[in-house]
Structure 1
């Protein structure tokens, strides 16, 4: 498994736009929690927000605290996710791996939000066996499937190696993940490969999603791809024929300068 400033108060109309467009943005990226994040950050009036003189915390520091706070995982689930994601997207000569990019925090935040609850999907019975081309059709919510799979990773690891998954060697972790990928593990009426596929997709999303969601720390995932991130305009570059390398910008950068 291998990979590869102005700080004036925001006017009320812009505040409402950001609050109610957050859910749409989240769905476009990975169905994330930007609606809750942006809404909770911007729903306070300007007079309630501390001024730079009232607080020594910078916006970046507050955002980092938020992004590195667990919302769904237990500590063991977090450690297991972090270890598994690192094997799926390991550090190499191209750049940092999933652990340095904060992918496990991204996954945690996704499971705590609407995406983890399958809030925008029909989840009522009757349930029928789906064709492979129909995508996710299980009765489990994503957060339930992920928790079930993480517990199974540790149970299987203890059966095979007498250790929790996150305490295994990289080679042993690869073997365990491969067993899940090939459906060699019984996962309580759920294909183990379904759990592995979801974990793999979430890992890649966490490496490249906007840092506002908790992963892609310092935009290093984008830098490895020379991706410019969320630039507001390309009017000065669009006519140029040569490749232009730009310092990436995140959604947070625009929120802080609004």
Structure 2
């Protein structure tokens, strides 16, 4: 549950390499190739810029719960602002309202079977159902065990409960606590390192923290600078739509 471990695990979500290199044998000459058909990329509509002022899926209560949970997973410190300050709650609120939340890419016709540990979540529920039901069951659990809501508990109580959820020791009802925790953890990591276009990683704080240069076309301008420290200002897709 240490913040550094949460952020370190989130780095695997970044699929783009932050560096590139070209190797050319000594004395090799450049060749100009001509002829053939020019390749054209398939035209696709650009992604829409998230409006943080619009609420898309989470209720006020759910928004407060997710904010409290996310801010314990990635709290503010000398490295960066908290998850909610970085827009992670805005990010997941909009994601839940779209294909991810609806589970458009998931097979949901059944039958539902419990898979092995390496097969991941085999349930038929989508992310919308997991959040809506899981957060309601978490509220009921906190009310019964602590006499208060998760967002009003102390930081120590919240951390202890999240650790129990991660281990699967909390019985919520219909939603396994470990499954709920796993999704919450993955989503806050995604929001912290996603392109700011999607509402999270506000002002590219996640990228700046780890030195990731963002959505750059290529690195030809810095290739000759071998052995030198290169500080590249991150680039977002926002400026390209």
Which range, TM-score by smaller chain? 0.7 to 0.9
Task: For 1:100 and 1:248, locate their aligned partners in 2 and report how far apart those are by CA, in whole Å.
Answer: 19
Compute the displacement of 1:158 (Å).
Answer: 1.5
Matched-pair contact (CA < 8 Å) for 1:103–1:207: yes
Task: For 1:128 and 1:157, locate their aligned partners in 2 and report how far apart those are by CA, in whole Å.
Answer: 29
Correspondence for 1:153: 138
Correspondence for 2:43: 17
Correspondence for 2:231: 245
Matched-pair contact (CA < 8 Å) for 1:156–1:176: no
CA RMSD of aligned residues (A): 1.8
Correspondence for 2:127: 142
Q: Does 1:70 align with 2:55?
A: yes
Mark the runs of 5 or more structure 1 residues left unpaired by the alignment. 5-13, 23-33, 39-62
Task: For 1:159 and 1:68, locate their aligned partners in 2 and report how far apart those are by CA, in whole Å.
Answer: 34
Matched-pair contact (CA < 8 Å) for 2:79–2:209: yes
Task: For 1:192 and 1:148, locate their aligned partners in 2 and report how far apart those are by CA, in whole Å.
Answer: 11
Compute the displacement of 1:115 (Å).
Answer: 0.7
Correspondence for 1:173: 158
CA 1:85 to 1:223, structure 2 compared with 1: closer, same or farther past 3 Å? same
Correspondence for 1:7: none
Matched-pair contact (CA < 8 Å) for 1:86–1:98: yes
Compute the displacement of 1:163 (Å).
Answer: 1.4
Within the candidate set 180, 185, 195, 1:195 is matched to 180
Task: For 1:248 and 1:207, locate their aligned partners in 2 and report how far apart those are by CA, in whole Å.
Answer: 14
Within the candidate set 192, 195, 201, 1:216 is matched to 201
**Which structure shows the bigger proportion of residues in helix conformation?**
1
Task: For 1:190 and 1:161, locate their aligned partners in 2 and report how far apart those are by CA, in whole Å.
Answer: 20
SS of residue in 2 equivalent to 1:17: coil
Mark the runs of 5 or more structure 2 residues left unpaired by the alignment. 5-39
Within the candidate set 65, 84, 88, 2:69 is matched to 84
Decide which moves more: 201-210 or 120-129: 120-129
Compute the displacement of 1:233 (Å).
Answer: 2.7
Within the candidate set 157, 163, 166, 2:148 is matched to 163
Matched-pair contact (CA < 8 Å) for 1:67–1:213: no
Matched-pair contact (CA < 8 Å) for 2:207–2:213: yes
Matched-pair contact (CA < 8 Å) for 1:85–1:104: yes
Correspondence for 2:189: 204
Q: TM-score, normalised by structure 2?
A: 0.79
Larger Rg: 2
Q: TM-score, normalised by structure 1?
A: 0.74
Q: How many residues align?
A: 204
Task: For 1:136 and 1:213, locate their aligned partners in 2 and report how far apart those are by CA, in whole Å.
Answer: 25
